Structure 1
Amino acid sequence: MIFKHWYEGGPLFMTLIYLLWLVVIVLIGTFFMKKGKSNPSELKRLNEGVFFTGSLAFLLGILGQVIGVFEALKALETIKQDVSPAMIAGGLKVSFLAPLYGFALFLISGIVWFVFRNILNKQRI
């Protein structure tokens, strides 16, 4: 299913979003590995990286959707026949895949950022 969504959602933007998922996972793992050993400023930088990466994934998803819809509308403009509403609905459904994956990463990274921020605040007290 993930490969199907990757192909339908547009390989370029979906690949970038999948890579950002991996970056967030690596940053979370690095945060836990360095939690007791590093200074708080380095941990804070890792935490901000998690949130920034999630935000970037969401923005890339929206950009991918806008470019995809623009190209689809440009292609529909050249067709001299009527296009069925089912075809339009199917295209819109597919166009939401990249923003959906980006938004999911944004939500998860936001929750992780909030939890890590509270962990860092408790370490300072």
Structure 2
Amino acid sequence: MMKLFYEGGALFMGILTLVLIIILAWGIYHFIIGTKAKESKTDLIIHRLSYIKSFGFFAMITGILGQLIGMYVAFSYIAKVGDISKSLFFGGLKVSMIAPIYGIIIFLFSLLLWFVMDYILHRNKVS
């Protein structure tokens, strides 16, 4: 797992991991408050939980940005060197996909987390 972290680029993978930690902390904190809150404040808590989706979207875009910057740098080196082998090129392309895949997984996780928490809080609000 750590090998993928470093291959994906420590800077962008670190940012994505930080965003994942923020999503978890934000969600758990507001979910606990929402389960204990009075009915009048539940709407505010549910609204704040929707920020989880925004954090997840930020993670996805950050992963794509990491890939684009990495590919730009790689293409610059290829332009300087000239001819390279296909296996080297596609190996680099494979490595460039690590950060966007991680960002998309974080985005999907954030959507799932938001959906479950929103459902539970709405169900508690009605009953």
How far 1:91 moved relative to its partner? 0.4
Show the counterpart of 1:85.
Answer: 86
Identity of aligned residues (%): 34
User: Hey, what's the Cα distance between the residues in 1 that align with 2:10 and 2:111?
Assistant: 25
Q: Which runs of 5+ in 2 are unaligned?
A: none
User: Hey, what's the Cα distance between the residues in 2 that align with 1:26 and 1:116?
Assistant: 13
Alignment of 1:114 onto 2:115: yes
TM-score after normalising by structure 1: 0.89
How far 1:51 moved relative to its partner? 1.0
How far 1:95 moved relative to its partner? 0.3
SS in 2 for 1:83: coil
User: Hey, what's the Cα distance between the residues in 2 that align with 1:26 and 1:45?
Assistant: 16
TM-score after normalising by structure 2: 0.88
Runs of 4+ in 1 over 6 A off after TM superposition: none
Alignment size in residue pairs: 123
Task: State the Cα deviation string for residues 71-112 of structure 1 (Å, max 9, x = none).
Answer: 1001100003x2010001110010011011110011111111
Q: Which runs of 5+ in 1 are unaligned?
A: none
User: Hey, what's the Cα distance between the residues in 1 that align with 2:64 and 2:55?
Assistant: 14
Matches within 5 A, 1:1-125: 1=1, 3-38=2-37, 39-80=41-82, 82-125=83-126
How far 1:24 moved relative to its partner? 1.2
What amino acid is the match of 1:63? L
What amino acid is the match of 1:22? I
How far 1:49 moved relative to its partner? 1.9
How far 1:124 moved relative to its partner? 3.8
Q: Which moved more, 1:101-110 or 1:23-32?
A: 23-32
8 Å CA contact retained: 2:31, 2:49: no
